[in-house]
Amino acid sequence: MKTLGNIIWLVFGGFLLFLHYIFSGILMCLTIIGIPFGLQIFKIAHIALWPFGKEVVNVDSGSGILSFIMNILWIILGGFWLALHHFFWGIVFSITIVGIPFGIQHFKMARLALLPFGKRIN
């Protein structure tokens, strides 16, 4: 089922979303200051390509305060709007029964887009 969901996702906009995230990540990585943010955008791009069957989990690492500070900067610099975008599409897709699985994937990406530092995709 997840393979079919990923193929439908890919055909109906997932690939364009993936390309958008890859292009944005490359632009962020052009500056030294933007590299950590670009790497987080690549993380979101990874889940934007094949979201079904993937889950976002917290990473227990020693960089707790650093992740917190970077997440605050991320939210201020655009993460809020990115998460709001995925949340909106999650609501739109969840209006119909057929779209609920796709809405759930957008909600998953909204959670990752809001606070990407300290998260890992399984």
Number of folded domains in the chain? 1
Q: pLDDT (tens digit, 9 = 90+) per residue, 55-103? A: 988 887 767 788 889 999 999 988 999 999 999 999 999 999 999 999 9
**pTM metric for this prediction:** 0.88
**DSSP structural state of residue 96:** S
| Gap between the Cα atoms of 59 and 9, Å rounded | 27
| Gap between the Cα atoms of 56 and 47, Å rounded | 9
* Residue 62 pLDDT: 61
| Gap between the Cα atoms of 74 and 114, Å rounded | 8
Q: pLDDT (tens digit, 9 = 90+) per residue, 32-66? A: 999 999 999 999 999 999 999 999 888 877 677 88
**Residue 94 tokens, joined:** 């969840």
Q: In terms of residue numbers, what domain contains 58?
A: 2-121
Percent of the chain with pLDDT over 90: 77
Cβ count near 19 (within 10 Å): 13
